[in-house]
Structure 1
Amino acid sequence: MLSKREQDTETTVHFRSDRVSRVNGMYFFSTRENTLEGPFFSKEDAERETEAYVRRMQASRFSQPEPPSSLLNG
């Protein structure tokens, strides 16, 4: 997938991987923040919670106040 994330300076190729893994019979998903969320009883539960996690993270990103412009321009 050729794309540019907000924090990227250049367009690059990002490879998607399966975020859900199985450990000792339980399912977990990994995040960009390098956390492992779970355990879940089924892969479907982990996938559903992955989507919910992404929605929560996106909602919190948009609800955070913008820093004053004086802090941005230093």
Structure 2
Amino acid sequence: MFGQRNVDPNPGTHYRCERVSAVNGQYFFSTREGTLEGPYFTRVDAIHGIDAYINRMQVASALYALAGR
């Protein structure tokens, strides 16, 4: 997959992969920034956590943009 985020200086290739993983019965998801978020009790909770993480990042980006005015 070819894509570029606004903060990326150069175009890059991003490969889709499973973002949710299980470690010792707990679930985590990985981010583009290279962090591992969790733990969650179930895979469904981790998937909901992904949605919440995306929303937090979008709000933080919007606030950052407003502060830079």
Q: Same fold (TM over 0.5)?
A: yes
Q: What is the distance in 2 between the residues matched to 1:24 and 1:60?
A: 32
Correspondences of 1:18-29 after superposition (within 5 Å):
18-29=18-29
Give secondary structure in 2 for the equivalent of 1:28: strand
Structure 2 residue aligned with 1:47:
47
Compared CA separation, residues 33 and 63, structure 1 to 2 (3 A): same
Instruction: Give the root-mean-square deviation of aligned CA atoms.
Output: 1.7
Quote the offset at 1:37 in angstroms: 1.4
Task: Verify: 1:37 aligned to 2:27, yes or no.
Answer: no
Q: Taking structure 2 as the reference length, what is the TM-score of the superposition?
A: 0.78
What amino acid does structure 2 have at the position aligned with 1:66? G
Q: How many residues align?
A: 66
Deviation string 1:19-73 (CA, Å, 9 cap, x unpaired) is 1100011101112232221111110100001111011011101111227xxxxxx
Structure 2 residue aligned with 1:66:
68
Task: Verify: 1:8 aligned to 2:48, yes or no.
Answer: no
What amino acid does structure 1 have at the position aligned with 2:3? S
Unaligned runs of 5+ in 2: none
Unaligned runs of 5+ in 1: 68-74
